[in-house]
């Protein structure tokens, strides 16, 4: 039986955000927006969903007069991401 895929991570944009955050210490909103080519509104909604699930931690502050949102993957997010990747590997293995 194939493992269940985490529906929260099965979204293209949320998976992209998690993939980026898994490879860096932290990323600001602008970097994530540039890397994913997402609209600001869509990215904001997806970051909120990942944050509500406890997969990422979000810090909002000001740098000078400009708002700055920084995201970091949490230990729960790392575990969820690893589990998702292993599940995808299982799916791919059965198809070969």
- Write out pLDDT tens, residues 28-47: 999 999 999 999 999 999 99
Residue of higher predicted confidence among 70 and 63? 70
Can you give the residue range of the structural domain that contains 38? 12-94
CATH of the domain at 64: 1.10.10.10
- The answer as to whether 2 is a domain residue is no
CA torsion sign for 75, 93, 46, 42 is positive
- The pLDDT of 86-96, averaged and rounded, is 86
Quote the DSSP letter at residue 1: -
Q: Residue 82 falls within a domain, yes or no? A: yes
- Which pLDDT score, from 0 to 100, does residue 96 have? 60
Which residues, at least 6 apart from 15, have a Cβ–Cβ distance to it below 8 Å?
9, 84
Cα–Cα dist 71/56, whole Å = 6
For the cut 80, the answer to whether the pLDDT of residue 80 exceeds it is yes
- Amino acid 9: pLDDT: 97
Q: What is the pLDDT of residue 30?
A: 96
> Looking at beta carbons, which pairs linking 50-53 to residues 24 or more positions away fall under 8 Å?
50/8, 50/14, 50/17, 50/18, 50/77, 53/8, 53/80
Q: Is residue 37 part of a domain?
A: yes
Query: Is residue 1 included in any domain, yes or no?
Result: no
> If you average pLDDT over every residue of the chain, what do you get?
95
């Amino acid at each position: 039986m194939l493992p269940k895929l985490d529906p929260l991570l099965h979204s293209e944009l949320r998976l992209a955000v998690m993939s980026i955050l898994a490879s860096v210490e932290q990323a600001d909103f602008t970097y994530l927006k540039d890397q994913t080519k997402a609209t600001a509104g869509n990215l904001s909604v997806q970051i909120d969903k990942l944050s509500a699930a406890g997969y990422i931690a979000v810090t909002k502050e000001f740098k000078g007069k400009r708002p700055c949102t920084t995201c970091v993957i949490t230990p729960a997010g790392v575990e969820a991401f690893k589990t998702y990747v292993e599940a995808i590997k299982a799916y791919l293995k059965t198809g070969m």
